[in-house]
Structure 1
Amino acid sequence: MISDIHSNILGLEAVLKDIEKKNVDLTVCTGDLVGYCTYPNEVINLIRQKNILTIMGNYDDAVGYEKLVCGCDYPDPKDMENASISLNFTIDMVTEENKRFLRELPLEMVLKFEGKNIMFVHGSPRRINEYLKENSKEAEEVMGEFKYDALVCGHTHIPYSKKYGSKWLINAGSAGKPKTGSPDVNYIIINIGDELNVEIYSVAYDYEKIANEIINNQLPIKFAENIRTGRG
């Protein structure tokens, strides 16, 4: 499970190369292919080339439909301003064909593996941009009424797994813009048997090249700092 690539082609390539070493049956992406970094078309093209099942993220929705806002819930006005800069830059960059691909992504998906029903969303089953942070009130509410065996989401950029009774909440982290305090990108593998087993993997890559590309394209310096530090 991968998520929140945010136009970081080097992060995505590193994660997919690492996944190839594992004995996986299927790769699913929980959205936000675009935004923030400078390679949106390259990321979309690679996802399409690899036929990776992908859920629509809030940035995919905003870019695909050329919206005025990205759907990010930032309390700091400066962060909202930066998100708008990112959105406008990405809308200008992405081809019409790739915008159509983003518009056609599903908002949710339920797949059955080994008798387990797993739901995939970007934010939450309630909203595309809802943060289900670990141990949060929102996560408790969602899982309190959740009807499948596991929920896999993204949006927070921090991978984790937690069991609520017999049901699992799993966050796929970020393969392009991690918020773990490390620049290494990350993803998760779910092993399915009688019980689910979740493994979190981190992968090093040339984040400095991505940070420099952000600066060279005159995007906010904070974007480059976030890539270098794994914060933001």
Structure 2
Amino acid sequence: MKIAVISDIHANVYALMNALEDIDSEKVDTIICLGDLVGYGPHPNEVISMIRRRHILCIKGNYDISVVDNEYSFIRETHINSFSLPWTVNELREENRIFLKNLSTSLTLNILNKNLLFVHGSPNKINEYLLKDDDNTLNIMNDLNEDVLICAHTHIPGIKEFGNKVYINCGSVGKPKIGRPNSTYCILTITKEDGMKVQIKEIPYAYKRIIKDMTILEFPNGLIQSLENGLE
């Protein structure tokens, strides 16, 4: 079984298109999205339409919930979000808002007797940051009932073993925080012969296209620069 895991697209349709093209070349069996389809970027409807058209299995992220609620439910009340949240709420088509609302918050799979838990933030909270070397991640992994935790939300990819359990963060397709304007996603391969193998892929995309769109739409300079630099 070969699974591509993507997340945190954040209304960046150019990054999503590029990532899906790369994933198709990997000949995976399925794609799973860990949420945050919207927020920050200028293409929320296009991103959701592409996810739906490809029948990609998807859970919701913290920004998705906040857009559905039209409140700072699980996002910080910052200068950028004070622009991004209302802009996305106004731009989002009703059918896509309903799609986000109806997504689940987690997914559990059993593949070859290995239990995998997919979440956006953590098993405890949708907007909890799990960085691989932080104490809260250690506590989460110690309490984890499953064999593998696959998460996102931090926009920083990582892999780490905690005893006989494995932590995987797939990073971000549309708004990286790795110091480069490149998408990251994860390929998870589980076979009877080789067990589980994990690969984090980092791929460039035509980021100047989304910079141009955001500039034309008069998005905040700080938000534009964050996509250009691959930083917060």
What is the TM-score of this pair, normalised by structure 2?
0.94
Contact 2:171–2:185 under 8 Å retained in 1:
yes
Match of 1:69 among 67, 72, 97: 72
2: CA distance between counterparts of 1:171 and 1:140? 14
* Other structure's SS at 1:147 match: coil
Corresponding residue of 2:223: 223
Contact 1:12–1:175 under 8 Å retained in 2:
yes
Match of 1:24 among 24, 28, 31: 28
* Residue 179 of structure 2 is aligned to residue 157 of structure 1: no
1: CA distance between counterparts of 2:46 and 2:107? 24
Contact 1:4–1:31 under 8 Å retained in 2:
yes
Paired positions, count: 226
Corresponding residue of 1:201: 201
Report the more deviating stretch, 195-204 or 161-170. Answer: 195-204
Corresponding residue of 2:57: 53
* Other structure's SS at 1:182 match: coil
Match of 2:101 among 100, 103, 128: 103
Residue 53 of structure 1 aligns with an amino acid whose one-letter code is L
Residue 212 of structure 1 aligns with an amino acid whose one-letter code is K
Match of 1:35 among 33, 39, 52: 39
C-alpha change, 1:48 and 1:230, in structure 2 (3 Å) is same
Q: Deviations along 1:102-130, whole A, 9 cap, x unmatched? A: 00000111011122111111000100000
Hey, which of these two has a bigger chunk of strand by percent? 2
Contact 1:65–1:99 under 8 Å retained in 2:
no
Match of 1:140 among 132, 138, 141: 138
* Other structure's SS at 1:27 match: strand
How many percent of aligned residue pairs carry the same amino acid? Answer: 40
Kindly report the root-mean-square deviation, in angstroms, between the aligned alpha carbons of the 2 structures: 1.2
Structure 2 residue runs without a partner (length 5+):
none
2: CA distance between counterparts of 1:84 and 1:111? 37
